[in-house]
Amino acid sequence: MPPRLADQRHHRLPVPRLTVEPGRAIVARAGTTVYRVVGVKRSAAGRVFVTVNGGMSDNPRPGLYGARYSARLIGRVPSAADRTVTVVGRHCETGDVLVRDARLPADVRPGDLVAVFCTGAYHHSMASNYNLVRRPPVIAVGQGAARALIRRESEEDLLRRDVG
């Protein structure tokens, strides 16, 4: 037994119980969020913003405490080289940034799919209905098959609590 723990017994203190909660270390890499591009905009300063159909409502981690992600175009082969862009959410808020300095093809366009990796640990559990946006589904994918674990919220789900 380490000396410091032994000292606690000498002082009649209970030996602490050590527990480990690995959480994110186990499930983070298992989660990938797939967004659809809804717009691409160049600022006056030359920065390129790729807007997706999600954002801080389904993943508040970047805005809350600076979580960093990487992103990649999926579903088609690009015809242009990568460039540095900022992937932003649909909420038009200053803090609605999902991926800063992402490398995406210069020909990324509305309708494309963008995968954001390592969102699995707390992504869905922290999601909200900010701006009355419905929460996305959670889909398990393995061995060539996909199945829904949590269904997408419906408009009826949102309105069910409204007693107006």
Q: CB of 147 within 8 A of CB of 140?
A: yes
Closest alpha carbon to 115 in 82, 87, 147, 151: 87
Q: Clarify whether 92 is annotated catalytic.
A: yes
Q: Spot the catalytic one: 92, 106, 141, 148.
A: 92
CA angle 161, 154, 163 (to 5 degrees): 15
Q: CB of 77 within 8 A of CB of 42?
A: no
> Which one-letter DSSP state was computed for residue 131?
G
At residue 132, φ and ψ (nearest 5 deg) are: 55, 35
Closest alpha carbon to 62 in 137, 3, 7, 116: 116
Q: CB of 102 within 8 A of CB of 68?
A: no
Largest CA distance in the chain: 71
Active site residues: 92
